[in-house]
Amino acid sequence: MTTLSSGLPPVWENIGFVIGFLLSLAMFSYIVRDNWLVRLAQYLLIGVGLGYTAVITWQSVLLPRLVRPLLEPSNGFVQAMPGSTSTPLFLIWIPLFLGLLLWIAGIDYLRGGDSEKGRVRQWLHGLAVLPLAIIAGVGLGVGIAGTLQGTFVPQFLRAADFGLQLDAAPGVLMLGILTLLITSSTLLYIQVDASEIQDRSLPLYLRVLVRGWGWIGQRALWLTAGFLFAQIFSARMTLLIARLEYFLFDVRSSNVWHWLQAMLAGGGQ
């Protein structure tokens, strides 16, 4: 079994393989030049992805969680959620109202509706701010709380715990010194402007010290950027090699290739 196997009936697998092969070739034509085949493949990818998202959103989110409870309120869907103290009002009706409000306002806006014209439009556009505010507010609150509890505090505690242990082994001590030096120099390079370093009112030794310290931070940034770029290059090369393997080897293990071989062999007899 190869990564091409999808559990679909063989005829759909073969059709999917042919379509995937042709679209891969279309995308690779970008190597020669930008052309309509590349655009076609890109638009197909985006369109199919959006269409699939719409279908899956309806099938697995809206239909079971919103539409069915509305149509059959006695199916115990809401009550079946253990530990839930929310009523259908908060789980169904308010989200439905806010969602429809946002949807209608969005369509009106896309059609070029001007809130200057008509009191109904003004009210609509004004009320549509409410679901947007809820989305933005919830997202912001969740994000800030999560950043504090999941990133800032644990990372700060880890850095504080690591510290500079003067009685540690030489390797650990050197690591601590380097960490302190590179971190401080990078912060200095980012914060202090070059013109400020050239300020003649500062003593010469201070200018030299700050300039040298910032020089280390600049090189540290270059090194970090280079390392990150190398990792990104590695990731993209893995993708390229996998795609080339698809053309060179996986194609030959497909049913379509076997059919072609059988046809050519049978035609030659």
Partner 1 sequence: MTSSFGCPHCGKSNPIDARFCSYCGTHLGDVEGSQLAQQPDKEEPVDESPPEKPLPTKRRFGPPSYWSESESDPADENPAQPSTSKRSSDLRRPSLRPNLTHGRPSPPSGERPPDQPYLPRPTLPTPDLPDADDPTGWLDRFSLPIPVESSPFLDDDLQRQLREFFVAEVPLADIPPPAGQITDGEGLWRRLSSYLLLLVVLVVLLLFRENTPETLPHVWPGVGPAFATVEALPDGATVLIHWAYDPATAGEMDLVARPVIGHLLDQHANLIVVSQLSLGPPTARRLIAAAKTLTLGDAVARQTDLSLVDGGFLPGGAATLPLLGQDPALGLPLDLQGRPALTLPPLASYHQEHPALVLVLADRMEPVQRWLEQVQPLNQVAVVAVTSAATGPAVRPYLDSGQLAGLVSGYNGGIGYQELLLRPMGRAEQARLWRQIAGHNWAFVVFLIVVLAGNLPAALRRRSP
Distance CA 69, CA 75 (A): 7
CB of 97 to partner 1, least distance (A): 18
Q: Which is nearer to partner 1, 95 or 213 (CB)?
A: 95
CB of 196 to partner 1, least distance (A): 26
Residue 209 Cβ vs partner 1, minimum distance, rounded to whole Å: 27
By beta-carbon proximity to partner 1, the closer residue of 32 and 169 is 32
Cβ-proximal residues to 84 (8 Å cutoff; 6+ apart), any chain: 78, 91
DSSP string, 149-207: IIIIHHHHHHHHHH---TTS-HHHHHHHHHHHHHHHHHHHHHHS-HHHHT-TTS-HHHH
Q: Judged by CB, which is closer to partner 1: 59, or 123?
A: 59
Cβ proximity to partner 1, 81 vs 177, nearer residue: 81
Closest CB 23 distance from partner 1, rounded Å: 12
Token pair 């919830």 in the structure block, residue: 138
Query: Is 80 or 120 the residue whose CB approaches partner 1 more closely?
Result: 80
In a 10 Å sphere around its CB, with 0-12 CB exposed, 13-18 middle and 19+ buried, how is residue 244 labelled? exposed
* C-alpha to C-alpha distance for 41 and 33, rounded to whole angstroms: 14
Q: How far is the CB of 201 from partner 1 (least distance, A)?
A: 32
Helix H, strand E, coil C: the string for 44-92 is HHHHHHHHHHHHHHHHHHHHHHHHHHHHCHHHCHHHHCCCCCCCHHHHH
Q: How far is the CB of 197 from partner 1 (least distance, A)?
A: 22
Catalog residues that contact partner 1 under the rule CB under 8 A. Answer: 1-3, 5-7, 31, 33-36, 38-39, 43, 49, 52-53, 56-57, 60-61, 64-65, 77, 80-84, 138-139, 142-143, 146-147, 149-151, 154-155, 157-158, 227-228, 231-245, 248-249
39 vs 258 by CB, closer to partner 1: 39
